[in-house]
């Protein structure tokens, strides 16, 4: 079956759809594009400017104005910012949650028109008290979610603290790290900087570089060592500035007053130098990046399409060496599976406008259906979402419809909604047979579309289904939420397969946009999505050889970092004292990335949610406390990271870092970049000089895996029964998730199931009490004269009691586990950050079946590690002596 249906886009609806689409969509598309272009032109530029401007404006007039205009919009950002200011956690937490939830809708509107305003708004919003207004509003709309969220956050914070405690007491991951750093720094000699700087400019970097090819991953030790030596030498400080280390270390964190800040800095840098810093700043190179950039940025977009083909297409054929060794199929393949055609609503399911029944054209109806399905979702309470939806929906309407339908509040989608709800019900209530049939059908689909041939290996494809049309659901306060994601037709899809393979046939009556044979990339098909203009790819499954190899390389890179990390830490500590602002910023940022596992923080466009990472932190995202809760030099981080997940953390940092942060914040306002002389390219360039192939994200992988290894070593008890060992594993895993800030919404049924568990615990306790009573009695009986029988009875009871206690223990343990896991997601780190060989080795070492740690898909994904790692494997140990070929060739794969 496979061959034939290749492109079978399910015939029926296709035509109708294609027609419909032509009308509505093409329209929409072009409009859209224009729209975008405009934005783009201004985006970057404005953004930068705005930020700066903000400063100026800040204080003055705008605030009020902005406030008004943005009052509804700002939601979360504002809140967040406000919160930051107010240290009142509890309260702020609640609010924040809301924000997170994505209620921040307001902004979006603005963005569309006045980008520049946005920034202003941001700043203003923060500063003001709009919060309140917002809050109220938000509350109404999102109460439930908000609640949930806030709970979540609270608990999160709690957890975090808890965790910290744990850490310090039980394993003290963080501490250890810090320690390490300290010690290394103490040996450090001064001058490295200088050397380093020199080198930077012309030669490579002090910390040797080295080509990072795959072979590198298998570098032998000797190699490594020698490299290290080199780097050390290079780094060796030349001994110049007297003040350096000793002094620093000497005056440790004493209790200097605020003014000391200066002194402090001075001790690092002579006054003259300091001035220097400033001056330099002002001059050329020391100008904040934003300023430099500002003036340049321009439009982008537009071109897109054209180039894709020329340059790369068919790039060097033989390029086996190229990293993505790809090579699509040889036999016939069906190509990607197109989305199912739209099935029109039954005629009795009606749409009402302004109270009156209104018949919709098929396309308008389809889009109405997208919205109707979401009627109960929070999204539909957001203004941005609704207005984006209306805009796009109207684009697909007939002119007549468009004339009538102008106000979403007059739209009544409830029948349509009810219809889809019913459909869901029906689906749930399918009979066994139906389910089975459906399942088989699905498997057949996978069998047909889910595989491809690469280098004559049959490999599973990850996402062979083209994304169906729908409404764009951005995360957080996304300005484009609610926009229509249009249906992708074969004419939009580019196929990438090897030259000698049979070209997949497009669905009947259709053509592919293009068929190419580019061996330098791994995707099999791609298309451009209309909402954000991004390319979407059909790629291989995680269990495929290709992905496995890359995964392995990733961890080898992290292990390589382990061998250099001491030096790198030394280096950045040294750089904290640099005369150059940009160096200091780079060093402090790197410290955050290393210590806190922050993401790099690329710059973002204005038409995306406002989230940040390390390099893009703004002034309002951290607050500094000389002393907080008994800790010195505390930095409080509070910002929205990837996926608009809040990152909240109070960290005690080293004095020098603290002082530097104060310096970085000087003369800046909310909305300004904290690291205004740094961005991810600069940082990564520096990292690459320190170690070939090193980038910011390697630190996350490294610290995550290292934490797992350390935690496992620490927490696992040889004699523990299996469940306890598994619990230890989960705890170690959790420590990582916490480090990486991997969150999840608390399960909806969390409270309930927690209560259930608690009840079990109570019951068990009762049972134990009872048994204890019995036990005592038996004991008496057994002692006083007791017969053999009585004695035996007593013993038996005693054992039963033990067992019960064990069970209780276990229950309590799992309750703890559960509670701790409430808002923590373990899966992300397990899947993306933890060297699977650590887990596999642990399983082997302690006799734990791998299934206890990895489910079926995970085992497939990590098959390479399961095959490769022995009980002795240690992430921080010496590299294994294996070549990638060993792995690559042998086993593998799910040949069906």
Partner DNA sequence: AGCTCCACTTAGCAATTGACTG
Partner DNA sequence: CAGTCAATTGCTAAGTGGAGCT
Q: Which of residues 255-294 bind DNA (CB under 7 A)?
A: 292-293
The CA-atom distances, in angstroms, between 321 and each of 199, 201, 654 are 31, 31, 45
CB 437 → DNA: shortest distance, Å?
A: 11
Residue at token pair 């029109």: 344
CB 152 → DNA: shortest distance, Å?
A: 8
Q: Does 680 bind DNA (CB under 7 A)?
A: yes
CB 531 → DNA: shortest distance, Å?
A: 7
Q: Does 537 bind DNA (CB under 7 A)?
A: yes
Nearer to DNA, 476 or 888 (CB): 476
Degrees (nearest 5) of the Cα angle 542, 547, 529?
Answer: 70
Instruction: Write out the H or E segment, with its range, that includes residue 364.
Output: helix 362-373
Nearer to DNA, 225 or 443 (CB): 443
CA distance 629 to 647: 19
SS (H, E, C) 524-572: CEEEECCCCCCEEEECECCCCHHHHHHHHHHHHHHHHHHHHHHHHHHHH
Q: Does 742 bind DNA (CB under 7 A)?
A: yes
Q: Does 587 bind DNA (CB under 7 A)?
A: no
CB 776 → DNA: shortest distance, Å?
A: 30
Nearer to DNA, 8 or 680 (CB): 680
Q: Which one of the spans 49-57, 253-261, 536-544, 655-663 is the region binding DNA (CB under 7 A)?
A: 536-544
Q: Which one of the spans 11-19, 174-182, 676-684, 869-877 is the region binding DNA (CB under 7 A)?
A: 676-684
Cα dihedral 357, 361, 362, 367, rounded to 10, equals: -70
Q: Does 33 bind DNA (CB under 7 A)?
A: no
816-834 burial by CB neighbour count: b if 16+ within 10 A, else e? eeeebbbbbbbebbbbebb
CA distance 410 to 354: 5
Contacts of 828 (CB under 8 A, 6+ apart): 737, 740, 742
Q: Which one of the spans 269-277, 410-418, 436-444, 584-592 is the region binding DNA (CB under 7 A)?
A: 436-444
CA distance 827 to 384: 32
Q: Does 11 bind DNA (CB under 7 A)?
A: no
Residue selected from 68, 175, 213, 301 as contacting DNA according to rule CB under 7 A: 301
Q: Does 697 bind DNA (CB under 7 A)?
A: yes
CB 476 → DNA: shortest distance, Å?
A: 6
Residue selected from 550, 628, 665, 668 as contacting DNA according to rule CB under 7 A: 550
Q: Does 207 bind DNA (CB under 7 A)?
A: no
Residue selected from 298, 631, 783, 789 as contacting DNA according to rule CB under 7 A: 298
Nearer to DNA, 132 or 443 (CB): 443
Nearer to DNA, 534 or 870 (CB): 534
Q: Does 13 bind DNA (CB under 7 A)?
A: no
Residue at token pair 């001059």: 283
Binding mask of the shown chain, residues 612 to 651, with x at each position contacting DNA by CB under 7 A: -x---------------------------xxxxx------
Secondary structure E strands in 424-490: 451-454, 457-460, 470-471, 484-485
Q: Does 723 bind DNA (CB under 7 A)?
A: no
Closest CA to 507 of 844, 127, 9, 1: 9
Contact 481, 368 (CB under 8 A): no
Binding mask of the shown chain, residues 372 to 391, with x at each position contacting DNA by CB under 7 A: -----x--------------
For helices 130-166 and 89-98, angle between their N-to-C axes, nearest 10 degrees: 110
Nearer to DNA, 241 or 448 (CB): 448
Q: How many of the other CB atoms lie within 10 Å of CB of 183?
A: 13
Q: Does 589 bind DNA (CB under 7 A)?
A: no
Binding mask of the shown chain, residues 507 to 526, with x at each position contacting DNA by CB under 7 A: -----------x--xxx--x
Residue selected from 753, 758, 777, 874 as contacting DNA according to rule CB under 7 A: 753
Helices (H) and strands (E) in the chain, counts: 35, 14
Q: How many CA atoms lie within 13 A of 284 on its CB side?
A: 1
- Residue 552 burial (C-beta neighbours within 10 Å; 0-12, 13-18, 19+): buried
Q: How many of the other CB atoms lie within 10 Å of CB of 845?
A: 15
Nearer to DNA, 187 or 303 (CB): 303
579-597 burial by CB neighbour count: b if 16+ within 10 A, else e? bbbbbbbbbbbbbbbbbbb
Q: Does 825 bind DNA (CB under 7 A)?
A: yes
Q: Does 434 bind DNA (CB under 7 A)?
A: no
Positive/negative CA dihedral, 726, 728, 731, 737? negative
CA distance 640 to 476: 9
Q: Which one of the spans 267-275, 299-307, 360-368, 779-787 is the region binding DNA (CB under 7 A)?
A: 299-307
Q: Does 435 bind DNA (CB under 7 A)?
A: yes
Residues between 554 and 573 with contacts to DNA, criterion CB under 7 A: 554
Nearer to DNA, 53 or 300 (CB): 300
Residue selected from 30, 168, 320, 535 as contacting DNA according to rule CB under 7 A: 535
Q: Measured in Å, how far apart are the chain's first and last C-alpha atoms?
A: 16
Q: Does 829 bind DNA (CB under 7 A)?
A: yes
CA distance 711 to 537: 37
> How many residues of this chain bind DNA (CB under 7 A)?
101
Contact 590, 657 (CB under 8 A): no
CB 365 → DNA: shortest distance, Å?
A: 19
Residue selected from 184, 608, 767, 807 as contacting DNA according to rule CB under 7 A: 608
Q: Does 24 bind DNA (CB under 7 A)?
A: no
Q: Does 370 bind DNA (CB under 7 A)?
A: no
CA distance 250 to 470: 62
Residue selected from 13, 270, 324, 786 as contacting DNA according to rule CB under 7 A: 324
CB 371 → DNA: shortest distance, Å?
A: 14
CA distance 825 to 396: 40
CA distance 533 to 607: 11
Residue selected from 4, 10, 717, 749 as contacting DNA according to rule CB under 7 A: 749
Residues between 439 and 458 with contacts to DNA, criterion CB under 7 A: 439, 442
The CA-atom distances, in angstroms, between 568 and each of 183, 575, 765 are 13, 10, 53
Q: Beta 356-358 vs 514-516: how paired, if at all?
A: unpaired
Residues between 80 and 139 with contacts to DNA, criterion CB under 7 A: none
Residue selected from 389, 472, 576, 592 as contacting DNA according to rule CB under 7 A: 472
Residue selected from 7, 28, 44, 690 as contacting DNA according to rule CB under 7 A: 44
Residues between 876 and 895 with contacts to DNA, criterion CB under 7 A: none
Residue selected from 297, 457, 458, 884 as contacting DNA according to rule CB under 7 A: 297
Catalytic, 352? Answer no
Residue selected from 602, 662, 767, 807 as contacting DNA according to rule CB under 7 A: 602
CA distance 523 to 828: 23
The catalytically annotated residue of 449, 591, 702, 833 is: 833
Residue selected from 424, 758, 816, 885 as contacting DNA according to rule CB under 7 A: 424
Q: How many of the other CB atoms lie within 10 Å of CB of 211?
A: 8
Catalytic residue list = 833
């Amino acid at each position: 079956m496979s061959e034939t249906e290749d492109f079978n886009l399910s015939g029926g609806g296709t035509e109708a759809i294609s027609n419909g689409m032509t009308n509505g969509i093409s329209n929409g598309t072009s409009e859209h594009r224009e729209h975008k272009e405009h934005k783009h032109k201004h985006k970057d530029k404005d953004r930068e400017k705005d930020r700066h401007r903000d400063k100026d404006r800040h204080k003055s007039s705008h605030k009020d104005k902005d406030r008004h205009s943005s009052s509804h919009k700002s939601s979360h950002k504002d809140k967040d910012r406000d919160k930051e200011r107010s240290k009142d956690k509890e309260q702020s937490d609640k609010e924040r949650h809301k924000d997170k939830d994505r209620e921040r809708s307001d902004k979006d509107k603005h963005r569309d028109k006045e980008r520049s305003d946005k920034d202003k708004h941001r700043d203003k919003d923060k500063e003001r008290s709009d919060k309140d207004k917002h809050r109220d509003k938000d509350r109404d709309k999102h109460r439930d979610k908000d609640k949930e969220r806030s709970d979540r956050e609270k608990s999160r914070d709690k957890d975090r603290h808890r965790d910290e405690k744990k850490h310090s007491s039980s394993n003290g991951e963080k501490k250890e790290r810090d320690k390490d750093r300290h010690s290394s720094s103490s040996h450090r000699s001064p001058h490295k900087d200088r050397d380093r700087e020199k080198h930077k400019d012309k030669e490579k970097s002090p910390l040797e570089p080295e080509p990072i090819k795959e072979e590198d991953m298998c570098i032998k030790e000797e190699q490594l060592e020698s490299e290290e030596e080199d780097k050390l030498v290079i780094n060796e400080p030349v001994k110049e500035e007297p003040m350096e280390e000793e002094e620093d270390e000497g005056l440790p964190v004493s209790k200097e007053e605020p003014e000391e800040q200066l002194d402090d800095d001075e001790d690092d840098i002579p006054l003259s130098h300091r001035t220097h810093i400033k001056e330099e700043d002002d001059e050329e190179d020391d100008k904040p990046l934003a300023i430099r950039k500002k003036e340049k940025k321009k439009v982008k977009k537009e071109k897109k399409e054209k180039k894709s083909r020329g340059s790369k297409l068919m790039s060097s054929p033989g390029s086996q060496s190229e990293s993505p060794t790809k090579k699509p199929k040889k036999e016939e393949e069906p190509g990607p599976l197109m989305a199912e055609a739209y099935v029109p609503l039954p005629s009795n399911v009606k749409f009402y406008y302004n109270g009156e029944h209104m018949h919709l054209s098929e396309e308008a109806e389809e889009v109405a259906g997208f919205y109707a399905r979401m009627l109960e979702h929070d999204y539909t309470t957001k203004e941005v979402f609704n207005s984006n939806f209306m805009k796009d929906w109207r684009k697909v309407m007939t002119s007549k419809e468009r004339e009538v339908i102008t106000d979403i509040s007059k739209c009544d989608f409830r029948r349509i909604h009810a219809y889809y709800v019913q459909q869901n019900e029906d689906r749930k209530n399918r009979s066994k047979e139906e389910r089975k049939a459906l399942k088989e059908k699905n498997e057949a689909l996978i069998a047909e579309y889910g595989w491809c041939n690469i280098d004559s290996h049959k490999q599973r494809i990850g996402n062979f289904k083209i994304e169906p049309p729908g409404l764009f659901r951005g995360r957080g306060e996304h300005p484009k939420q609610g926009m229509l994601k249009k249906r992708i037709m074969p004419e939009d899809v580019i196929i990438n397969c090897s030259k000698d393979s049979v070209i997949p046939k497009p669905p009947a009556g259709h053509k592919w946009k293009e068929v190419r044979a580019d061996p330098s990339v791994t995707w099999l098909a791609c298309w451009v999505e209309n909402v954000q203009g991004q390319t979407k790819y059909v790629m291989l499954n995680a269990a495929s050889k290709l992905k496995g190899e890359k995964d392995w390389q990733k961890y080898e890179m992290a292990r390589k970092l382990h061998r250099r990390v001491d030096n790198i830490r030394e280096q950045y500590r040294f750089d904290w004292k640099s005369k150059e602002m940009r160096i200091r910023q780079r060093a402090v940022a790197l410290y955050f990335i290393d210590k806190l596992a922050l993401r790099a923080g690329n710059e973002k466009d204005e038409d995306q949610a406002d989230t940040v990472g390390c390099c893009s932190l703004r002034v309002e995202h951290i607050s500094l406390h000389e002393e907080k809760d008994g800790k010195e030099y505390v930095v409080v981080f509070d910002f929205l990271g990837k996926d608009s997940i809040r990152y909240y953390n109070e960290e005690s940092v080293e004095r020098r870092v603290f002082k530097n942060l104060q310096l970085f914040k000087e003369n800046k306002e909310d909305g300004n970049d904290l690291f205004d002389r740094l961005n991810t390219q600069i940082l990564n360039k520096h990292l690459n000089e320190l170690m070939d192939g090193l980038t910011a994200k390697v630190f996350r992988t490294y610290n995550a895996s290292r934490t797992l290894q350390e935690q496992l070593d620490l927490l696992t008890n040889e004699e523990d029964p299996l469940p306890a060992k598994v619990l230890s594993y989960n705890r170690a895993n959790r420590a990582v998730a916490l480090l990486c800030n991997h969150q999840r919404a608390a399960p909806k049924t969390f409270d309930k199931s927690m209560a259930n568990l608690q009840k079990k615990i109570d019951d068990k306790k009762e049972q134990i009490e009872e048994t204890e009573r019995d036990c005592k009695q038996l004991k008496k009986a057994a002692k006083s004269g007791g017969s053999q029988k009585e004695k035996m009875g007593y013993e038996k009871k005693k054992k039963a009691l033990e067992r019960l206690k064990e069970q209780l223990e276990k229950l309590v343990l799992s309750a703890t586990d559960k509670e701790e896991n409430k808002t923590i997601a373990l899966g992300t780190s397990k899947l993306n950050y933890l060297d699977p060989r650590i887990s596999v080795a642990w399983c082997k070492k302690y006799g734990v079946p791998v299934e206890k740690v990895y489910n079926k898909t995970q085992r497939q994904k990590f098959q390479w590690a399961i095959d490769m790692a022995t009980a002795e494997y240690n992430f921080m140990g010496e590299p294994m002596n294996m070549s990638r070929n060993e792995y690559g060739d042998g086993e593998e794969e799910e040949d069906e």
